[in-house]
């Protein structure tokens, strides 16, 4: 495989005892277009490179330095030609959306993205994985032929979502995402709220109870959000499946199944209520 510009420049530095030094000049991680600028110094040569990730910016800085070295007739060293293709010209899936999303979260002071493998299915020769990526109160899913590809696809969806947000909404989005909803297990146990205390006394086994509505009322009272994720693949016994995610701290995810999507959501809500009841009753 071809060597990257960074590797080539490093080898040159080792031979000439001028190890390249990289410095980040600018880190402008806007939600729509993250931009990084790196400066590389090798001997008397200094070049800069810009890109949508730190790795890409360093690649471009190294490549610029190599181009200068190749043009200098007084310097003689072997540079593989062609070099590794410019990362910016590679297909999008060759970039690292997982790293870009993590850098975005760090820049804005958000919690780091969390990835959970939620589904694994298909025949042995054609496996398909489904991964859930959570970032603050947001959630996206990704599918792929490998766990890594599923994670990448989920991260790409997040980056695409943020790229579609207009600049005037950047500040409001940061305020929303960066604000913790504050519903913890401690606050649940000590809450004077009517709905949560009613849950503590409930058997959760009364026929025809609207569990989705009950969970919604508790969420409103306690200050957390609920997201229902319908799973495309049926369960082993042919039932629909659903995940209910509660934006508590820590995040709660409960599974449900049923003969329809609605039944699966209701079952997930029922299981979430049972879990909240157990947590709220603990001392």
Domains for the chain: give ranges and CATH numbers: 5-72 (3.30.160.20), 97-164 (3.30.160.20), 185-281 (3.30.160.20)
- The whole-number pLDDT of residue 181 equals 42
pLDDT digit string, tens, across residues 76-92: 444 444 344 444 444 44
Confidence band (pLDDT; 50, 70, 90) for 2?
low
The answer to whether the pTM exceeds 0.85 is no
* pLDDT given at position 178: 43
Residues 165-203: pLDDT tens digits? 544 444 444 444 444 446 787 888 888 999 999 999 988
pLDDT of res. 34? 67
HSE, CB side, 13 Å, CA atoms: give it for residue 30: 12
Whole-angstrom distance, CA of residue 119 vs CA of residue 6? 38
The per-residue pLDDT for 51 is 79
Q: What share of the chain is helix, strand, coil (3-state, %, to 5)?
A: 45, 25, 30
* Cα–Cα distances in angstroms (integers) from residue 14 to residues 43, 71, 140, in the given order: 11, 20, 44
Q: How many helices (H) and strands (E) does the chain have?
A: 9, 9
Say what the pLDDT of residue 33 is.
58
């Amino acid at each position: 495989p071809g060597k990257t510009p960074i590797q080539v420049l490093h080898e040159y530095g080792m031979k000439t005892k001028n190890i390249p030094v990289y410095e980040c000049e600018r880190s402008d991680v806007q939600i729509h277009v993250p931009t990084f600028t790196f400066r590389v110094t090798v001997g008397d040569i200094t070049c800069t490179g810009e890109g949508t990730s730190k790795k890409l910016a360093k690649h471009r800085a190294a490549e610029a330095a190599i181009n200068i070295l190749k043009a200098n007739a007084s310097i003689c060293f072997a540079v593989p030609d062609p070099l590794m293709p410019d990362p910016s010209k590679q297909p999008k899936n060759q970039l690292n959306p997982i790293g870009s999303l993590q850098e975005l979260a760090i820049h804005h002071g958000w919690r780091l993205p969390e990835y959970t493998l939620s589904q694994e299915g298909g025949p042995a020769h054609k496996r398909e994985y489904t991964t859930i990526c959570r970032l603050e109160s947001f959630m996206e899913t990704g599918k792929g032929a490998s766990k890594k590809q599923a994670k990448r696809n989920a991260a790409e969806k997040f980056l695409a979502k943020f790229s579609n947000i207009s600049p005037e909404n950047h500040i409001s989005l940061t305020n929303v995402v960066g604000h913790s909803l504050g519903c913890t297990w401690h606050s649940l146990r000590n809450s004077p709220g009517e709905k949560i205390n009613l849950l503590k006394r409930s058997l959760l086994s009364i026929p025809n109870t609207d569990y989705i509505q009950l969970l919604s009322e508790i969420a409103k009272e306690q200050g957390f959000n609920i997201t229902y994720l319908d799973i495309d693949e049926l369960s082993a016994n042919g039932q629909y499946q659903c995940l209910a995610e509660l934006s508590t701290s820590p995040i709660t995810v409960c599974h449900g199944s049923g003969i329809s999507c609605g039944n699966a959501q209701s079952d997930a809500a029922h299981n979430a209520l049972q879990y909240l009841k157990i947590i709220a009753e603990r001392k």
